[in-house]
Amino acid sequence: MTEDMVEYITVGSAQDARDIAILARKAATQDDAPALVWLGGYRSDMTGTKAVELDRYAKEAGLACIRLDYSGHGASGGDFNKGTISRWLEETIAVLRHKGAKRIIVVGSSMGGWIALRLIQELRKDPDGTEVAGLLLIAPAPDFTAELIEPNLSDEEKASLAERGYFEEPSEYSTEPNIFTRDLIEDGRNNRVLTGIIETGCPVHILQGMRDEDVPYTHALKLLDHLPADDIVLSLIRDGDHRLSRPQDIERMLAAAQSLVFSAKPQRS
């Protein structure tokens, strides 16, 4: 399998089975650097600008890199409308186990930031499992269903959730509307992370645009209150939007990733 060829694994069984697409490159050097893992946002995929640029950096630096599409996203199978944080987290863990990842740096964008935080919570339950050596969050949206969606639901949207099990809203990034299901919202309540101290056990770097209309920068500030024990850097980008995909934003992302990789490498005398 070449590094640009999509690999598939099946997660779940019977009617719940879905084929999850993976793009992975092996490390080109024999050092102890962790693999980079890309976790995308809601309705994004592993061929987006930031994901591709992260993989390019990994290639140039000789690092391993793992990307995946959650079910219902990109090249993966499965029904998007059945998607929940628990379901997409299950798929992420399955991919890491399939690739045999021992040490990783997780790069989570938007909803991927929420999944990244839940991933760390799950991985830390197994002392012999995958170690997270660094965490890079880009416009992170932890608990967005409970914190950003539910408080702002209109009466019409509440009625649609009750009667149809979902509601729609126009998307700034697609001609197709965003669909938020009752299952997604109810499952989101069970996956909240902004309820107490989040123990990551690793350095954390957050990149957040101050002109983000989807996830306000105050949400990143709230996240900081739940990460008091960790080595954290928060970079507020005054003119940055939610995507943070401009050339200067990509430079910031790669510089942050490089810093986390360097700090995770054993320092040789």
Write the CB contacts of 184 (distance below 8 Å, at least 6 apart in sequence): 83, 84, 85, 145
CATH class (in words) of the domain with range 7-143+198-263: alpha beta
Pick from 46, 208, 187, 39: nearest CA to 111: 39
pTM score, two decimals? 0.95
Backbone angles phi and psi of 85, in degrees to 5: -60, -40
Q: DSSP class of residue 150?
A: G
Q: What is the pLDDT of residue 174?
A: 79
- Report the distance separating Cα 73 and Cα 76, nearest Å: 6
How do residues 199-232 score in pLDDT, each as one tens digit? 999 999 999 999 999 999 999 999 999 998 779 9
Q: Domain segments of the chain: what residues? A: 7-143+198-263
Q: What is the pLDDT of residue 269?
A: 40
How do residues 95-141 score in pLDDT, each as one tens digit? 999 999 999 999 999 999 999 999 999 999 998 899 999 999 999 99
Q: Are strands 131-138 and 232-237 parallel, antiparallel or unpaired?
A: unpaired
**In angstroms, how far is the first alpha carbon of the chain from the final one?**
37
Other CB atoms within a 10 A radius of the CB of residue 149 amount to 17
Q: What is the pLDDT of residue 2?
A: 46
